[in-house]
Amino acid sequence: MRTTLVLLLLCCLAGPAPAQAPLEVGSPESAFAGGPIHLSRHAAGMLRGHYQGDKVPLVPQPFRGRLDTALAGFDWPRVEAMKKQLVAAQGIVPALLWEQSRFIATGSIGVAEMHALDIAATGASAVSETAVMLWFYAVAVTLTDGHKCAEEAAKEAHLDHLRGPAFEPVIQILRTISDDRLAAMRDLAVRLETVLAVDRTDDLMCRGGNAKPEIKPDAVWRPDAALARGMLPRHLVALASVMRPRPVAHPEPPRPVAAKPASGPRTAQPATVEPIFPGSGISLPAFPPPVPAEPGTSDKAATQPQQQTTH
């Protein structure tokens, strides 16, 4: 499967959001303007592939610059604090879009874990399996990039963290989705681990706290990571069997029931959510549609240096 098709399976909206103006869209460069994250050609191509052109959501300033600054510094407590401010001011959609676009651009395991938990917290079944995919991705990155940690116990400690109480909302979803969807999310996570490794510099799995960890030289850890990458499908299958020992069959479709004559006022029925990506097998609610930037105005303005402080 091509990289662009793989990324089109990603999603991040679940549940109703507060009323808000739709986000404008622009080029990958404009979506990261005003912050310290410099896109590689590969990352820009990934963003254009996922958002089908120069339609990357423009998270409003000053939140964008502050979030990107915290992410670039691996300052996770500040990322969470800035994200809460964004949600309070703009609603959940911009925060989820920031997480999604930064995950695609950086492959960050920290953003993947954050996004998995935020999706699970919404309680929307239509996107719940994406949280499982991101959890598998975090496990896969720990198994590969974890070899960079000078502290040998760091990798196992982070795996224990992913299997622990902090991720129970995601693990509960993992235990209930059908076997075929579990396999699909696991396989997608394995492919994304390889695709996003090009720009991934995250060292979260090596950190025991806020102190900067000691990292092995590339020539030392990357060969071990490559060997681990080849074993990812087997390792993730084994992990899934431990996390949910009983198979979960694909649920049977409900049988039609004869309608009874209405005896009172009719109530509106909830709308059925259809897959927005044909053939993906994932039913997703749609984002409020972004507003294309007018030529020579919004996109140009978004690319100009921002005057707000990012501290």
Domain count, the chain: 2
Structural domain includes residue 174: yes
Residues 44 and 143 in one domain: no
106, 140, 159 - which closes a domain: 106
Structural domain includes residue 149: yes
Give pLDDT, residue 305. 33
Residues 237 and 185 in one domain: yes
Structural domain includes residue 79: yes
Residues 51 and 101 in one domain: yes
Structural domain includes residue 82: yes
Residues 241 and 121 in one domain: yes
Find tokens 């993947």 and name the residue: 112
DSSP conformation letters of 147-183: GGBSSTTHHHHHHHHHTSGGGHHHHHHHTTS-HHHHH
Partners of 24 in beta bridges: 291
141-187 residue pLDDT tens: 999 999 999 998 999 999 999 999 999 999 999 999 999 999 999 99
Please name which of 118, 77, 74 lies closest in space to residue 96, comparing C-alpha atoms: 118
73, 106, 139 - which closes a domain: 106
Structural domain includes residue 253: no
110-145 residue pLDDT tens: 999 999 999 999 887 777 899 999 999 999 999 999
- Residue range of the domain that includes 94: 1-11+20-106
Residues 125 and 204 in one domain: yes
Q: What average pLDDT score do residues 243-267 get?
A: 51
Question: CA 282, 96, 192 angle in degrees (round to 5)?
Answer: 55
Residues 31 and 139 in one domain: no
Residues 129 and 234 in one domain: yes
More confident residue, 273 or 230: 230
Structural domain includes residue 28: yes
pTM over 0.85: no
CB 275 within 8 A of CB 281: yes
Structural domain includes residue 56: yes
Residues 220 and 149 in one domain: yes
Residues 125 and 180 in one domain: yes
Residues 133 and 156 in one domain: yes
Partners of 285 in beta bridges: none
**Amino acid found at 79:** V
14-33 residue pLDDT tens: 333 344 557 889 999 999 99
63, 90, 106 - which closes a domain: 106
Please name which of 98, 90, 30 lies closest in space to residue 64, comparing C-alpha atoms: 98
CB 77 within 8 A of CB 67: no
DSSP conformation letters of 265-303: ---PPPPPPPPSSTTS----PPPPPPEEPPTTTHHHHHT
Q: What average pLDDT score do residues 176-205 get?
A: 92
pLDDT higher than threshold 90 for residue 259: no
Q: What is the C-alpha separation between 156 and 259, in angstroms, rounded?
A: 55
Of the chain, the end-to-end C-alpha distance in Å amounts to: 41
Indicate the helix (H) or strand (E) that contains 222: helix 218-230
Residues 122 and 2 in one domain: no
Whether the upstream peptide bond of residue 62 has omega within 30° of 0, thus cis, is: yes
Residues 123 and 98 in one domain: no
Structural domain includes residue 258: no
